[in-house]
Amino acid sequence: MNPDQSGVGGLARLVSAWGNSVRGLRLAWAGERAFRQEALLALALVPTAFWLGQGWIEVALLAGSVGLVLIVELLNSAVEAAIDRIGLERHELSGRAKDLGSAAVWLALVLCAGIWAAALWQRFAP
């Protein structure tokens, strides 16, 4: 538990957690180019999901896959920050952790692209 949070509960804990989350999103926006690019794409894709989806399940899949990309990108950035905090020298395990995080982002992007391609195909293919 964070020492700043000891003895904090209820609404105060929720407000504190909200502040931490907002700070994390601001840090990601300011310092992570990939997150900025994906967030800007999300600003276009999520509203489009409501137009393209033919029912709430399709809308949820389309918008959710975009949200998943953002979540995985944030987790990848967190792993990279933790690794860099340990040390900037090259180490096999540090490289492995960063590569695994990058692979997770790539898989999330492939999943997102596949869902969107299938929805577009279903909507517009003859």
User: Exactly one of 32, 38, 73, 80 is catalytic; which is it?
Assistant: 73
58 is annotated as an active-site residue: no
For 63: left if phi > 0, alpha if psi spans -120 to 50, otherwise beta; the answer is alpha
Burial 6-39 (b: 16+ CB within 10 A, else e): eeeeeeeeeeeeeeeeeeeeeebeeebeebeebb
Active site residues: 73
